[in-house]
Amino acid sequence: MLCVMKVAVFSSKPYDERFLGAAAAEAGLDVEFFEAHLDVRSVPLARGHDAVCAFVNDDLSAPVLEQLDELGVKIVALRSAGFNHVDLEAARRRGLTVVRVPAYSPTSVAEHTVALILALNRKIYRAYNRVREANFALEGLLGFDLASRTVGVVGTGRIGLAVATIMHGFGCTVLGYDRFPNPEAAAAGLDYVNVDELMSRSDIITLHAPLTAETHHMVNADTIDAMKDGVMLINTSRGGLIDTAAVIAGLKSAKIGSLGLDVYEEEEDLFFDDLSNQVLQDDLFSRLLTFPNVLITGHQAFFTEDALEAIAATTVNNLVAYAAGETSGNEL
């Protein structure tokens, strides 16, 4: 069905134009792409549009949502699963519909998580640079066999379970913690324990719970203290799950043996843009970059062709359903 809806896409990159542009054109959506992040300054760009399409670091706080409503925008379509950056109460007050892409490709994020685990353990990022400089020394590259180790998965939804399945395939013991245990966990080789047991028994802890008031800083000085010495900590979920200052202290004391991040608490001022000609102003992030046992990627775990196709298809379906007066099931 063709749909005459005007959509303003914020935080747009060439890959959004490619994938979302193609899906929108097929559905007949009238889409305008803006490189600008959505915030109180850029919100006037939404004038004349029925819908706004936003990404993870766009500002969807009450003042922005109020302005969107005043400009006549009816629906905010998130190109993400996470919605911790949206003031849903303010959206409800203003009668704005908010839709998201609850599941696009859990394997994209799970496989990136495992890539971080493997690269950190075997120091691939260090080995790559050394060999290019004809430095073939092995000192500092010592890893461990994953097969005999215990992996703790915090949040056993779609992504957590996909990680559990892969790590179980490596021969790891997989422990899980979730407020709502997943009935498919046994098939993924995952045993549920309470959060304290997971933290104290795991050689690798990987975070896949959403960012909520409850999960905010769930990795903090106290929980780090309860972890095994030399634990590997991985976060591909949301930066706010980790108290960065506490993790830096844990790295300095060697309590944390290695850290892999795809997300960071204050990432909205950093990620998705080329800042290589600027002086980074974030001192905590800059400190993280100095550790030889820290590997950071800039929120790219979702970034596969399969995921971008699925995000575009669901986003367009969400908008088309709204225009037809129907629900997509992806409303928040």
- Does 224 contact ligand NAD by CB under 6 A? no
The residue length of the chain stands at: 332
Cβ-based nearer residue to ligand NAD, 3 or 166:
166
Q: Which residues are catalytic?
A: 238, 267, 299
Which of 16, 58, 87, 178 is close enough to bind ligand NAD by CB under 6 A? 178
- Does 199 contact ligand NAD by CB under 6 A? no
Residues contacting ligand NAD: total by CB under 6 A: 31
- Does 176 contact ligand NAD by CB under 6 A? no
Which of 152, 160, 176, 240 is close enough to bind ligand NAD by CB under 6 A? 160
Which of 82, 189, 216, 255 is close enough to bind ligand NAD by CB under 6 A? 82
Which of 15, 179, 281, 306 is close enough to bind ligand NAD by CB under 6 A? 179
- Does 298 contact ligand NAD by CB under 6 A? no
DSSP one-letter code for 228: P
- Does 188 contact ligand NAD by CB under 6 A? no
Place of tokens 């892409």: 101
**Contact criterion met (CB below 8 Å) for 181 and 190:** no
Cα dihedral 279, 281, 286, 287 in deg (nearest 10): 130
x/- binding map, residues 89-108, to ligand NAD, per CB under 6 A?
A: --------------x--x--
Residue nearest to ligand NAD (CB): 157
Burial class (CB in 10 A: 0-12, 13-18, 19+), 210: middle
Contacts of range 18-26, beta carbons closer than 8 Å, 24 or more positions apart: 18/308, 19/308, 19/309, 19/311, 19/312, 20/53, 20/79, 20/311, 20/312, 20/315, 20/316, 22/312, 23/309, 23/312, 23/313, 23/315, 23/316, 24/312, 24/316, 26/316
Report d(CA 87, CA 105) in Å as an integer: 25
Which of 79, 100, 149, 238 is close enough to bind ligand NAD by CB under 6 A? 238
* Closest CB 83 distance from ligand NAD, rounded Å: 8
* Closest CB 105 distance from ligand NAD, rounded Å: 9
**Contact criterion met (CB below 8 Å) for 49 and 75:** no
- Does 314 contact ligand NAD by CB under 6 A? no
Strand 75-78: give its sheet, edge to edge.
30-33, 6-9, 51-54, 75-78, 97-99
- Does 79 contact ligand NAD by CB under 6 A? no
Please report, as ranges, the residues that interact with ligand NAD according to CB under 6 A. 81-82, 103, 106, 109, 154-160, 177-180, 182, 208-210, 212, 214-215, 236-238, 262-263, 299, 301-302
